[in-house]
Amino acid sequence: MYDQLITEFLKVPAESNARYDIEKIRQAAEFAALSHEGQLRKSGEPYIIHPLEVAKILISYEMDDACIIASLLHDVIEDTAVTKEEVARRFSPEIAELVDGVTKLGRINYTSKEEQQVENLRKMLLAMAKDIRVIMIKLADRLHNMRTLEYQTEEKKRSKAMETLEVYAPLAHRLGIQNLKSELEDIALKYIDPIGYDEIVNDLEVFHENNERFDRIKSMITESLEKEGIQATTESRIKHIYSIYRKMFNQNKEFDEIYDLYAFRIIVDKTTECYNVLGLMHDLFTAIPGRLKDYIATPKPNMYQSLHTTVSFEGYLFEIQIRTREMHEIAELGIAAHWKYKTGRFGKDPLDEKLSWVRKLLEVQSDMNDGDDFIKTFKIDLFADQVFVSTPKGDIITLHSDSTVIDFAYAIHTQVGNKMIGAKINGRIVELTSRMHNGDVVEIITSESSGGPSRDWLNLVKTNEAKAKIRNWFKKEKREENIFFGKSSLERELKSNLINPANVSEQELFAPVLTRYGLETMDDLYAAIGYGAVSISKIMPRLKTDYSKLIRKQAEQEQPAPQIVRPRKKTTGGVVVDDIDNCLVRLAGCCVPVPGDEIVGFITRGSGVSVHQANCPHLKGIEPGRLVKVHWEDTENEYFATTLTVDALNRIDLLADISSALANMHIMTRGLSMQMMAHGDVRVVLNIEVHSLSHLEIVAKRLRKIKDILKVERS
């Protein structure tokens, strides 16, 4: 098929400076021709002309084999029966990825938008492309389509031209590919403002015809360079049409008033020669003060380097640019210059740090430090933490990459989120937890009868914006429910931290929290917890310290009780933790230490220090860092609960004897149980209050004296 066309085409890569695998390129061209067989372009030409031309543009940038082959195949997935898998099988997975990338970009629906939206669209294109070469193919594809735009309908001409001007030319500019950018702009202008375009073209023709000065200046420059023996190439360059057009519009100027219509460019071998040539030019013409720009000493952020000077000759102003060949390549080819570095044409390390400008061009954040990998793989992951998706109308929404469709709904509008009942991605119904990918079209299904967001959504959404909006809804719509929900979760948490507000003044305990969050009543606090404005884990530490302070204060205020009037609540105090003030202390339930026992403190997670007997088996294997020194407080007024087991022969008044013995010693009994054992023995378990270990011993001794009691032991 189309053998003639393909043979002609193959001369281009064969004659390129870059070394191409001509056989592989031929296979790709033939496969493309076969796949597009029978298809015609709007111009009536066979379709295969288009991919061949796109490939030629990329060969002029010396892009690599994979890129050229992918460009030949760039429309086969979209327009023919060929699948990505087939491309991968016939060529390579790498090439299939490139073709697939171009195909996906082609599906983005463009409508003219405000500037911020256009910027998001450009970012979305970059993010979707994933590989710089995909963007290069897309740009070349667009360039050829623009060159052949005349065959399209009026409406299509206009919308393609606008899209080119707003999206593709700026992308080419970002990538530093100036001549591709200029051609795109000039063609786009021709369709957007044909009259303005023609005027400038005419003015430029007239200008050339009447301007023999132009040729005189050019020969003056070449002669003086020759005289000094400097090897140099001199180019003259006319400002491209779109930039003249923009200058005339933006600065409201006539064509004649634009003095930098053309510029001369002198390209030399070495940097030092640039400055020699500059001196030479300033001798030859009159330098305009303040118009010298040294981008060699201070390169532009995109590493553009050159000397610019504006001079005058016979009252006529023009610009001269002086640079080395290498600087020139970078200025003209932008990111595409990379492939030349890669082939070592400048004899440089391909990972030359100079190429970091690529990242700068693409506005990479400084935290991306993998510059070398970026250059090696051409991977674009500039927006790794962002995802760009669009509404069915084509508005682009940028979200954090973890976002769910719920985040998307709230990003569109609060009411869309609140009334959301479902979502579609690319036309398919998805779950609310679904993530989105770059370029997805997301549609939110809403219903007026929706009951509002669910509380679970707070855990599903990733953006603070959506969280805040959901909380706000709960705050307004569900006060009763919030109070209930907040109250029960706070009570649960207090209980697990051994805080019982009934033991202290509830008002005093919560006052600081209420003040801090600007709340008035406890119900306000419960409600705020319910809708998520107050987090329990944030208020808990403060409540814990305040609680133990209040408990302590209460204990101090209580009168030193006479032996018989017992402070009922003081069953857990009496232990001082060395080095720590105000901490919650409780006696361990496993070994129940009493004063006089050797004790050790264990820092629990979230419920203060638990005090164990030093030999308690539960302490074995505990990290030493969590043990603290503790000692018994010196006081006779504190009581401790402990348990004694009494084994005895049963008789009718055994319990009466035990109780009267305890009563005589002013011992408070907290609990008592009795159980029949074998052979008519009984076991009485007494839970009693004592001050200390020695006190306990006295009690045990006294009990042993009771008739029929066999054994008294601490259990």
Binding marks (x or -) toward Mn ion, 31..70, rule CB under 5 A? ----------------------------------------
Q: Is 455 exposed, middle or buried (0-12, 13-18, 19+ CB in 10 A)?
A: middle
Binding marks (x or -) toward Mn ion, 258..297, rule CB under 5 A? ----------------------------------------
SS (H, E, C) 623-653: CHHHEECEEECCCCCCCEEEEEEEEEECCCC
Shortest gap between Cβ of 78 and Mn ion (angstroms)?
A: 8
Q: How many CB atoms lie within 10 A of CB 545?
A: 15
In single-letter form, the type of residue at position 330 comes to I
Q: Is 125 exposed, middle or buried (0-12, 13-18, 19+ CB in 10 A)?
A: buried
Which C-beta is closer to Mn ion: that of 71 or that of 182?
71
Binding marks (x or -) toward Mn ion, 579..608, rule CB under 5 A? ------------------------------
In the chain, what is the greatest distance between 2 CA atoms, to the nearest angstrom? 139
The CA-atom distances, in angstroms, between 102 and each of 74, 98, 120, 138 are 7, 6, 18, 6
Catalytic residue among 30, 79, 493, 647: 79
Question: With contact defined as beta carbons under 8 Å apart, do 111 and 395 qualify?
Answer: no
- Is 578 part of the annotated catalytic residue set? no
Which C-beta is closer to Mn ion: that of 36 or that of 359?
36
Of the candidate spans 125-133, 141-149, 526-534, 590-598, the one that interacts with Mn ion by CB under 5 A turns out to be 141-149
The angle formed by the CA atoms of residues 552, 555 and 561, to the nearest 5 degrees, is: 160
Shortest gap between Cβ of 27 and Mn ion (angstroms)?
A: 20
- Is 79 part of the annotated catalytic residue set? yes
Binds Mn ion (CB under 5 A): choice among 53, 64, 65, 75: 75
Question: With contact defined as beta carbons under 8 Å apart, do 441 and 390 qualify?
Answer: yes
The angle formed by the CA atoms of residues 42, 48 and 50, to the nearest 5 degrees, is: 60
Shortest gap between Cβ of 129 and Mn ion (angstroms)?
A: 15
Please give the Cα distance from 409 to 462 (Å, whole number). Answer: 12
Which C-beta is closer to Mn ion: that of 32 or that of 405?
32
Shortest gap between Cβ of 50 and Mn ion (angstroms)?
A: 6
Of the candidate spans 40-48, 80-88, 139-147, 198-206, the one that interacts with Mn ion by CB under 5 A turns out to be 139-147
**Which pairs with CB-CB distance under 8 Å and at least 24 residues apart come from 243-249?**
243/182, 243/185, 244/200, 244/204, 245/189, 245/193, 245/196, 245/197, 245/200, 248/200
Which C-beta is closer to Mn ion: that of 143 or that of 494?
143
# binding residues, Mn ion (CB under 5 A): 2
Which C-beta is closer to Mn ion: that of 75 or that of 100?
75
Sign of torsion over alpha carbons 190, 195, 199, 200: negative
Which C-beta is closer to Mn ion: that of 97 or that of 326?
97
Catalytic residue among 21, 37, 64, 78: 78
The angle formed by the CA atoms of residues 34, 36 and 38, to the nearest 5 degrees, is: 95
Residue 141 interacts with Mn ion (CB under 5 A): yes or no: yes
Residue 379 DSSP symbol: B
Which C-beta is closer to Mn ion: that of 53 or that of 273?
53
Which C-beta is closer to Mn ion: that of 137 or that of 551?
137
Please give the Cα distance from 682 to 288 (Å, whole number). Answer: 118
Please give the Cα distance from 583 to 574 (Å, whole number). Answer: 13
Would you list the DSSP string of 238-271? EPPHHHHHHHHHHTT--GGG-TTSEEEEEEESSH
Active site residues: 78-79
Q: Which residues bind Mn ion (CB under 5 A)?
A: 75, 141
